[in-house]
Amino acid sequence: MIIRERSNWFLMLFIWRGSVLRKIILQLLIITAFSVVVLYFKGNVYEYKVHLNPAIFTLLGLSLAIFMGFCNSASYERFWEGRKLWGALVIESRSLTRQVMTLVNDDSHDSALKKQQFVRMIVALCWALNFQLRNKDPKDKLRNLLSEEHFKRIEDKKFLPVILLSLMAEWINEQNRNKKMDTIILSSIDAQLNSISQIIGGCERIASTPLPFAYSVLLHRTVYMYCFWLPFGLVDVVGWMMPVIVLFVSYTFIALDAIIQQIQDPFGEEENDLALNNLCDTIQFSVYELADIAQPDFKTSNHYFID
């Protein structure tokens, strides 16, 4: 994902990075070339004049805009829910770290190391969820975060965030059995683990249930049919400016269609998807500070970043 400070209005016209223009430039060139051909032949196809009233495109454009607005709202709702879930994961990770570091009644050196090991499990869970949502192998990342014993226990598992959550619950239960925390604290921490479990389930729901395919197909077909028929409706109305008008209208509709397709899967790795790597870095940096663990190198920019 790209996060960029808003430039002045003129520079915004020429921003390329983060725009969907790179994905649709070929389609726009094809439609513009088609419009030029229609203009050259003055709307005739094999000596047959294609008569299309511009009013038809006004009605179709209005209907298309309403439908695109619905699809855009549905896609953005998925994007925003994904962001809220990961924002909640940031909060729950910090709260769980704070509780473990301050409420487990054992100040020995060995206990401090075990607490730090637990904090690393929190970070490993976040990275495991990140990689699971993106269908990537997290083993190399988790090997650097977990102890050898814990890594062997998850090495052959599929749903790693859930397994790591179970290991964390085992650690908490062990502290309770050893009388290092009372049942009230145990209940409070268990509530934190339940909240994280709900976050994992919410992310899996978004990732495994895309928008109905029929919506995407209908929107995609309608947009391109509209754009390819539009030159015949405008060729006798605007004359030589017709290809320019068609290009502008096509850019608006096709770009919005591309944005809708992009953000309906908020956990992908395209420029407008959620910056999961940076969110994991944020979690890791903040909980490591709470647990007094040496920090790795984090490379982020104050202006923009690509996940």
Question: For residue 22, which of 259, 253, 204 has the smallest C-alpha distance?
Answer: 259
pTM reported for the whole predicted model? 0.86
CB 233 within 8 A of CB 38: no
Cα–Cα distance measured from residue 215 to residue 223, given in angstroms and rounded to the nearest whole number: 12
| pLDDT digits 0-9 by tens, 31-72 | 999 999 999 988 888 878 888 888 888 888 888 989 999 999
> Which range, 15-19, 159-163, 181-185, has the best average confidence (pLDDT)?
159-163
Tokens read off for 165: 């959550």
Q: How many CB atoms lie within 10 A of CB 296?
A: 10
CB 21 within 8 A of CB 272: no
HSE-CB of 60 using CA atoms within 13 angstroms: 18
Contacts 24+ apart (CB under 8 A), 110-117: 111/180, 114/171, 115/291, 116/291, 116/292, 116/293, 117/147, 117/150
What pLDDT, on the 0 to 100 scale, is given for residue 4?
57
| pLDDT digits 0-9 by tens, 253-281 | 999 999 998 889 999 988 888 999 999 99
| pLDDT digits 0-9 by tens, 5-30 | 666 666 766 676 767 888 899 999 99
Q: Which helix (H) or strand (E) holds 48?
A: strand 48-49
CB 126 within 8 A of CB 283: yes
CB 132 within 8 A of CB 138: yes
User: How many residues can be counted in the chain?
Assistant: 307
Residue spans of the domains in the chain: they are 25-40+52-291
